[in-house]
Structure 1
């Protein structure tokens, strides 16, 4: 190794600045001075360096000038260092890249080939929406096919603000406003409602009016087919037919009860969904054809229905009655008319209260009064406890427990036959017959005639009335129930009682629906209603003669007579319970008359009820004239001819 002065020196010897090794005496004294002396000074001979020691395992002396610690094995010191093979690393990297690319390629194949339809459908679902296509709601008609409720085709006019050209904007506003009677400012809001693609401008537009608008060819103006429910005026059946809501679904009356049949099945259409979820009706989409609803044909006769409504309303207004109902039916249960007072306009139903819209013929329960006496007498006759000629001693009043029962008009004690008890409408005489029958059997006949249970019409809001079980009757309830107090019924239940008598003792469940008609005009009749014999035909014939005496010269309902026809029927006058006090005091009266004609060959039954008339509240005076009016018209409409027979001489008094 060469020093700065060009001299070579031993590499093992430390340089001038090196510190002496530990244990070596420092240079100094004469030796140091002689080294710095003149040229004749003698150099010091080099020091012999001992060979290095082999390191000892597990320890050993510290290496001079460095930290103590084990030295690596000699084999490692002697082994030359080798770098990794770059080709091998490259092969590994390439292999990994190939594997990753194969995974990506497989996934792409799965998405674009195997699962492509699924992803395409999902993407399409994001922008397409399925909507219902309105269908034609079935009509409700009378027995002759005359419409009582029908659907007419209309148009819902809309604008697509994005499609309207700027130079057509004002013209679109003007045309829509003038043709459909709209506020120009409101139309302008719809026209300027970008980015919306669908803005309804007018509804229930007649097709003819839309066709005239469409001829202008204005871009961005369109229409959808829709339907509107229409109720012909003055059908007199609003309380029975009911109405539909804005969405076309039946809400009340037969519209609600028969909704599944009338509604049909809407079609399905896919429409594109624009910004903000707005539907674009002009977009193409798959469509499923709608299935029209079926028409419902009723047993009603439109003419009889209308006349009954008019006669009822006129009499109710004349007497200042709170309400009323009228029913016309056949002995076999088919209802030809069912009217109510007051009524309403179904096209504007929101303007009327729920009470005004209720079908009182089934929703209003009342005490039947003397019209119930026919059941008491029917049970006694059927059980063989009495006969039409059996004579009873009938005073004006009778005391039972703590209550005094009286007839409606004062009379001395009379000898009346069973015929006379019914013709004179004697409460006291009927109580005597009821006591013969007993509460258990009387209750059984009331149930058999249909009291205390639904009529079977399934009309909304039906009130089945009140008929307590005989074990719950107190001391005076048997006499009260015998002549029509202490229980309640609706008008349809009572009409069905007299239909049973007119039908020879067989009760047929009342019916309103004759059948349905499909889109091809094919008629499907309704199922036959259930029927049950309640009394024998002999008993029914005896009752018919007894009821005919009610309208005779000695009866309480001479106002129910119809020239040329034999008429059977019964008056009814009952006290009404005051809802505020829970007593009869101040509650007013319910006046009824129910009967059939011709009495010897019954074809029609008419029931009339007037709630709380302010004058002439006796059934023979208030309700019987309405019966006569309606029955006369119905007999002519149905072309029922008089039988031409004369009524027999019916014995009413025991001394005759």
Structure 2
């Protein structure tokens, strides 16, 4: 019997399933279909919160990126954007002119255009057409233009920076895509090779590479300007945008002491004689005696400055200051000056001169064999006797002779400031060998430049006062006014009396009995000296050939101009009196007419060359 209120063990109260109350003996009910299950998507409030969190996260990413771009990286990004958008452009300054003493332009700057290509922008299908057209119009090898157009990773390649404006305009009128032009300047030398080795030239970047163009580059070049503009992606300028511009400052002019006409005559004369004598090279210098200003400085072979890149490097320079040589007998005037001032010798001192003399281990000779002669010191110089010069030099100490040579400017640059100038070679007197003491007296064993030797004769003609050679008369200021160069330094080397005596001896050297008769100029009194020296040549490792020289001044009694002609390694004739003296005569005659220097109308005093005459 089941007790009421008892539950099966383990079942908690209220957990018993409800009992069916269906009446007994009734048929079972048919089960009803259940309604479809409803998918519950969750709480809408929670979905809204999740969406807001997601949006906040995304916005925080954007905000962080904006902070990075506009805050942390803003300056770097602005600079990069400006670099892409703002295009800097150099505005070239117009280079100053180089003129002669009268203002005639020897080097000037003219308008030009630069033609460049943007290979990236050239239509690949038209690349061959563009290359062929540019090669024809610019006179360039087609292969060079094609190679430039093939560099499609570059946006700017200059093809020619020296195009005439009209030609550049014609090229641009062809409408070649990827081809551009911009204004620039080109250097022009109206005289071609006139003063070529002296002036020098500029490179493709517009700066001086050689000569005066290089030495005075800072004055001539001026200062380039700058321009910045904003451009679009296609390279076009964006209107109504900012631009900056710094105007270029034009270069200043340099005025030389060179006289264009005298320079031309000097070049013509030295060219003809170098060719006629089949010489290696030659130089001519003309100087004003009172001022030391150089009126002409010519070299042969020369260089055409408009085509300097086609000339060998050896022919581009200024040989008159860069080439050193043994002066030979032209150096005897220095020995004469030392002997007169310090050795007790006078122009009338008589020497018994044989044709050879022993110096240490060497026997030194005159140019021609002769019986012993009683020559005055004037005769020794006029006839250019090596032996007689050695005899006079023996009245001097080695140091005294060295000091005199040094005082005339040997062993140091002249002070002219000319580019490429050499100091020559003057060994210290303590190092002279027994024979060298003798050879130095007549110009062997020392080396000089043409300018140094011309300066020696300028000193003698100027009463013993050396004036530092100069080539620049002045430069223009910012307003185009000429600012004269400082006055050249003056130094007394020998006394006026000694200089006058030597002038008389040199005048005798150009007389009928002297070695320089070919330098005589009708109507003028000329003083000068020949020089014929063995030429040292590194190629042959010793003395090969000769150096022929003549240097002199006129009028001898009132000197105005000094000129020197030096010819290296002539094959037809080699004596200075035969090869160099005619060049002196031609150039000096032209210079006297150009400068309107009249004869003095006086006659040379009679001098004694041989005792007893």
With structure 2 as the length reference, what TM-score do the two structures score? 0.82
1:493-504 equivalences in 2 (<5 Å): 493-504=452-463
1:382 Cα offset (Å) = 2.1
Task: Check if 1:152 corresponds to 2:125.
Answer: no
In 2, the alpha carbon distance for the partners of 1:218 and 1:139 equals 36
Please tell me whether residue 309 in structure 1 is matched to residue 267 in structure 2: yes
- In the TM superposition, residue 443 of structure 1 has moved relative to its aligned partner by 0.6
Q: 1: CA distance between counterparts of 2:605 and 2:503?
A: 12
Higher mean alpha-carbon deviation, 383-392 vs 590-599, is at 383-392
**What are the within-5 Å matches in structure 2 for residues 30-41 of structure 1?**
none
Partner residue of 1:644? 601
Structure 2 residue aligned with 1:577:
536
Kindly report which structure 2 residues correspond to 1:331-370, keeping only aligned pairs within 5 A, or say none.
331=289, 332-370=291-329
Q: CA deviation at 1:173?
A: 8.8
* Structure 2 residues not aligned, in runs of 5+: 12-52
Any gaps of 5 or more consecutive residues in structure 1?
A: 12-93
Task: Determine if contact 2:115/2:160 at 8 Å carries over to the other structure.
Answer: yes
Cα distance, 1:517 vs structure 2: 2.1
1:402-481 to structure 2, matched below 5 A, reads 402-481=361-440
Mapped pair 1:295 → 2:253: yes
- Per the alignment, residue 653 of structure 1 pairs with 610
Shift of 1:452: 0.6
Partner residue of 1:627 out of 581, 584, 589 = 584
The answer to whether the 8 A contact 2:276-2:572 is kept is no
What SS class does the counterpart of residue 588 from structure 1 fall into? strand
1:323 aligns with 2:323: no
CA 1:163–1:350: 2 relative to 1, 3 Å? closer
Which secondary structure does the structure 2 equivalent of 1:243 belong to? coil
For normalisation by structure 1, the TM-score amounts to 0.77
| Matches of 2:607 and 2:264, distance apart in 1 | 37
* CA distance, structure 2, for counterparts of residue 604 and residue 368 of structure 1: 20
**Partner residue in 1 for 2:28:** none
CA positional deviation for 1:259: 1.2
Q: Give 1:227's match in structure 2, choosing from 185, 199, 218.
A: 185
Question: Could you tell me how far apart the structure 2 residues matched to 1:151 and 1:537 are?
Answer: 47
Change (3 A) 1:282 1:391: farther
Higher mean C-alpha deviation, range 205-214 or range 544-553: 205-214
Of the two, which has the highest radius of gyration?
1
Instruction: Give the Cα separation in 1 of the matches to 2:439 and 2:325.
Output: 14
Between the aligned partners of 1:166 and 1:400, the Cα distance in structure 2 is: 82
Partner residue, 2:95: 137
Aligned match of 2:7: 7
From the superposition, tell whether residues 334 and 187 of structure 1 become closer, same or farther in structure 2 (CA, over 3 Å).
closer
Q: Distance in 1 between matches of 2:322 and 2:542?
A: 21
Distance 1:576 1:479 in 2: 18
CA distance in structure 1 between the partners assigned to 2:313 and 2:10 by the alignment: 127
1:377 and 2:336 equivalent? yes
1:517-549 per-position Cα deviation (integer Å, ceiling 9, x unaligned): 246321111122222111111111111111111
How many angstroms apart in 1 are the aligned matches of 2:532 and 2:563? 17
Q: 3-state SS of the aligned residue for 2:551?
A: strand
Corresponding residue number in structure 2 for 1:618: 575
How many angstroms does 1:220 deviate by?
A: 7.1
For each residue in 1:347-387, what CA deviation from the matched residue of structure 2 results, as whole angstroms up to 9, or x when unmatched? 22222222122321112111100000000111122226211
Deviations 1:191-233 (A, max 9, x none): 9987976565654232234445667888876521111111224
CA drift at 1:263: 1.1
Query: Is contact 1:148–1:235 with CA below 8 Å preserved after alignment?
Result: no
Q: 8 Å contact 2:548–2:580 — kept in the other structure?
A: yes
Deviations 1:280-307 (A, max 9, x none): 8899742211111111111111111111
Look up the match of 1:492.
451
Partner of residue 592 from structure 1, selected from 549, 557, 576: 549
Verify the 8 A CA contact 1:596 1:606 in the aligned structure 2: yes
Cα distance in structure 1, aligned partners of 2:176 and 2:135: 14
**Structure 1 residues 257 and 274 mapped into 2: Cα distance closer, same or farther (>3 Å)?**
farther
Q: Report the secondary structure of 1:643's partner residue.
A: coil
Superposition pairs for residues 596-611 of structure 1, below 5 Å?
A: 596-611=553-568
Distance in 1 between residues matched to 2:591 and 2:557, nearest whole Å: 17
Q: Which residue of 2 aligns with 1:73?
A: none
Give the 3-state SS of the residue equivalent to 1:559 in structure 2: helix
Q: In 2, distance between residues paired with 1:511 and 1:598?
A: 22
Query: What SS does the corresponding residue of 1:358 show, helix, strand or coil?
Result: coil
Q: Does 1:266 align with 2:266?
A: no
Equivalence for 2:38: none
Question: 2:207 pairs with 243, 249, 259, which one?
Answer: 249
RMSD: 3.8
Q: How many residues align?
A: 563
Within 5 A, what are the aligned runs for 1:272-291? 285-291=243-249
Per the alignment, in what secondary structure is the counterpart of residue 262 of structure 2? helix
CA distance in 2, matches of 1:461, 1:374: 27
Structure 2 distance, partners of 1:456, 1:240, is 16
Structure 1 residues 156 and 441, CA gap change in structure 2 (3 angstroms): same
Q: In 2 relative to 1, CA 241–655 (structure 1 residues): closer, same or farther, beyond 3 Å?
A: same
In the superposition, relative to structure 1, how do residues 116 and 382 fare at CA in structure 2: closer, same or farther (>3 Å)? same
Match of 2:49 in 1: none
SS at match of 2:394: helix
Task: Give distance in 1, aligned partners of 2:263 and 2:161.
Answer: 32
Aligned counterparts of 1:359 and 1:514: Cα–Cα separation in 2: 19
CA pair 194-594 structure 1, distance change in 2 beyond 3 A: closer
- Please name the residue that 2:15 is paired with: none
